[in-house]
Amino acid sequence: MITTMHRSTLIAAVGTALALSLTACQGDSDTTSSSSATPAATVASTPAAAASTGGKGSDASDATGSAGSANSKGSDGSQGSAEAGGSTGSAGEQVAASTPVCTAGDVRVTAARQDGPPYTHIVLTAKNTSGHSCRLKGFPHVQLLESHKQDVPAVAKSKPAAPVVLAAGAPAYALVKVSDGGVDEDNEPVSAFSVMLEGDSTVIAVTAPGSEGIAADPAKALTGYWTPELRNGADDF
């Protein structure tokens, strides 16, 4: 009887000890799993956040830098070009305004047939022979025939954009249309004609080109403005 009770007590004690041992092992296992999972989560989340923040920061920095650079270049470039253009234009106008107007005594005017079509035009050349710069205004006031005492009309579209300033020895040109080139036109022979410069009432006698002169129709005649370059009559009239 005593032996039986002792054995039952021993079995009960062993069972209790085993249960406590299993509980302790399970608790240790849970603690270990929890502690090992925590660093893994921290390591995984930290680089992702850093990468996300770093990407946004880099884009914002690049965008700000590009915008600043573009604004700086655009502002400086436009301002510089505007100031330069204004300064140059103003200086050119001042030089032209201060240059004396060419008179009949400052230039030598000659006439030649235009080299190439249209063959209905002649070229007037005014060469500065004064030894100083002068400004050639407007267009030549041409009268082709003694029987027609009116100036040949000027063509407005041939007017140059800038004043024509002639340095010493430099030429300027003006085209004069003398006819339409038709055989049935009312043409008259012209061996010499008169030219006056704008602002000067002095009459300049000009010899017509060619040994036999030119045939002119006063009703069709037109003249262009003085220009610093030789132009094609077909471009203007």
* Window from 15-19, 43-47, 154-158, 166-170 with minimum mean pLDDT: 43-47
Residue 104 CB neighbours (<10 A): 16
Is the overall model pTM greater than 0.75, yes or no? no
User: How far out from the chain centre does Cα 37 lie?
Assistant: 67
Return d(Cα 206, Cα 195) in angstroms, integer.
7
Is the pLDDT confidence value at 116 over 80?
yes
Is the pLDDT confidence value at 97 over 50?
yes
Is the pLDDT confidence value at 211 over 70?
yes
Q: 149: closest CA among 189, 204, 201, 193?
A: 193
Is the pLDDT confidence value at 171 over 50?
yes
Q: 103: closest CA among 69, 87, 126?
A: 126
- Torsion sign across C-alpha atoms 42, 45, 49, 51: positive
Q: 102: closest CA among 13, 221, 198, 23?
A: 198
CB 179 within 8 A of CB 216: yes
Question: pLDDT, tens digit, for every residue of 9-63?
Answer: 444 444 444 444 444 444 444 444 444 444 333 333 443 343 344 444 444 444 3
Q: How confident is the model at residue 185 (pLDDT cuts 50, 70, 90)?
A: confident
**Is the peptide bond preceding residue 218 cis, with omega within 30 degrees of 0?**
no
Question: pLDDT, tens digit, for every residue of 143-153?
Answer: 998 877 889 99
For every residue of 39-83, DSSP letters joined together read: HHHHHHHHHHHHHHHHHHHHHHHHHHHHHHHHHHHHHHHHHHHHH
Confidence at residue 95, expressed as pLDDT on a 0 to 100 scale: 60
Q: Which residue has the higher pLDDT, 164 or 71?
A: 164
Q: β-pairing, 107-113 with 222-223? A: unpaired
Q: Which residues contact 159 (CB under 8 A, 6 or more apart)?
A: 139, 225
Is the pLDDT confidence value at 226 over 60?
yes
Q: 151: closest CA among 223, 236, 227?
A: 223
CB 142 within 8 A of CB 176: yes
Return d(Cα 85, Cα 78) in angstroms, integer.
10
Q: How confident is the model at residue 125 (pLDDT cuts 50, 70, 90)?
A: very high
Secondary structure letter of residue 136 according to DSSP:
E
Is the pLDDT confidence value at 216 over 60?
yes
For the chain, what is the radius of gyration of the CA atoms? 51
Q: What is the largest CA-CA distance in the chain?
A: 171
Confidence at residue 234, expressed as pLDDT on a 0 to 100 scale: 84
Q: How confident is the model at residue 183 (pLDDT cuts 50, 70, 90)?
A: confident
Is the pLDDT confidence value at 180 over 60?
yes
